[in-house]
Amino acid sequence: MKNKLRTMIEQPGIHAAPAVYDCIGAMAAEQAGFDYIFSSGFGITASLLGKPDLGYLTANEMIDSAKRIAHSVSIPMIADMDTGYGNPLNVIRTIEEIVQTDVAGIILEDQVWPKKCGHFEGKQIIAADEQVEKIKAAVYARGDSGLVIVGRTDARAIEGLDGAIKRGERYLAAGADVLFIEAPQTREELSTIAQHFQGVPLFANIIEGGKTPNLSLNELEDMGYKLVAYALSGLFSATQAFTECFDALKKDDGTQHINRKLSFDDFKTVIKMDDHIALEKRFGISKKTD
């Protein structure tokens, strides 16, 4: 998976994918035809804890979630690993554990821990020198695994766009494979980043209602972006579906009038039920013995 993602990044063209927070979302994305996915720290925090993305998740919770999600599909996944959960030594441990999983890439950001969603107010960032050492530590820890490292900076909100660009230069020099400047606020800022880092694989994060303009993929590709994550589209859609279903269930006499197109058989297709039935047959699980 790691080499597959690296090859994708090196090829021409833009690659867009949804961020997911569980195995069902990952499998649905794969079956929709996406060639890779992201894991969403925001979504994992919401689904596991029912809390906002304010640094509540521990390293083990995030790593375990990423491990399960990546193993459920046959396409590469880039995992949100927040700040690496400490200093460079903690980053080394985090990356060493990730390398042993099916995760193909990680995002490592420069916020102060506990971090916040990149589109929340009140973020703080560590010194650029410290983040440079953390990226170097991640490069060291990945060894020859091929793990892709996405260097993320949240400096736009604190140091302005120029400060974020300067940090981006340093993170790339430290060994980041992809650059992610979080939350540029205008079309012009997105373009300025792309013009400055021509030839560098750039990452754009699109959140409906967030700080970054929701441009089309054609526009982002023309600017020069390589990877685009739709970080919360799935989470918002699933939450809306839950809300509408449960409201209808509460108000109506049963579920007969719920407007849902996904059938029981459709869901069995998503979770690859036929594959598991084939395994039962192969190993005689369904056979009765005296």
Q: Which of 261 and 62 is assigned the larger pLDDT? A: 62
pLDDT tens-digit readout, 177-218: 999 999 999 999 999 999 999 999 999 999 999 999 999 999
Give the span between the Cα atoms of 170 and 88, in whole angstroms. 16
Is residue 238 a contact partner of residue 214, using CB atoms and an 8 Å limit?
Answer: no
Per-residue pLDDT at 248: 86
pLDDT tens-digit readout, 119-138: 999 999 999 999 999 999 99
Residue 244 lies in a domain: no
- Structural domain including 217 reads 2-235
Number of domains, the chain: 1
Per-residue pLDDT at 259: 75
CATH number assigned to the domain comprising residue 36: 3.20.20.60
pLDDT band at 287 (very low <50, low <70, confident <90, very high): low
Mean pLDDT for the stretch of residues 136-148: 97
Mean pLDDT for the stretch of residues 141-169: 97
Per-residue pLDDT at 135: 98
Per-residue pLDDT at 133: 98
pTM exceeds 0.85 = yes
Q: In Å, how far are 60, 144, 156 from 78, measured between CA atoms? A: 17, 17, 22
Sign of the CA dihedral 171, 172, 178, 183? positive
Is residue 169 a contact partner of residue 125, using CB atoms and an 8 Å limit?
Answer: no
Q: State the average pLDDT for the chain.
A: 94
Half-sphere exposure of 264 (CA within 13 A, CB side): 0
User: Any residues with CB less than 8 A from the CB of 124 and at least 6 apart, and which?
Assistant: 111, 112, 158
Residue 28 lies in a domain: yes
Residue 242 lies in a domain: no
Q: In Å, how far are 104, 154, 224 from 95, measured between CA atoms? A: 11, 21, 29
What the block records as the tokens of 66 is: 């990423």
Per-residue pLDDT at 284: 86
Per-residue pLDDT at 260: 77
Question: To the nearest whole percent, how much of the chain has pLDDT over 70?
Answer: 98
Nearest residue to 229 via CA among 111, 102, 79: 79
Residue 32 lies in a domain: yes
Mean pLDDT for the stretch of residues 97-113: 97
Residue 274 lies in a domain: no
Is residue 185 a contact partner of residue 214, using CB atoms and an 8 Å limit?
Answer: no
Per-residue pLDDT at 290: 54
Residue 110 lies in a domain: yes
Per-residue pLDDT at 251: 87
Directed axis angle between helix 156-174 and helix 187-196, to 10°?
Answer: 20
Least confident among 25-39, 51-65, 197-211, 242-256: 242-256
Residue 279 lies in a domain: no
pLDDT tens-digit readout, 249-277: 888 877 777 777 788 999 999 999 999 99
Residue 289 lies in a domain: no
pLDDT tens-digit readout, 67-90: 999 999 999 999 999 999 999 999
Mean pLDDT for the stretch of residues 231-247: 93
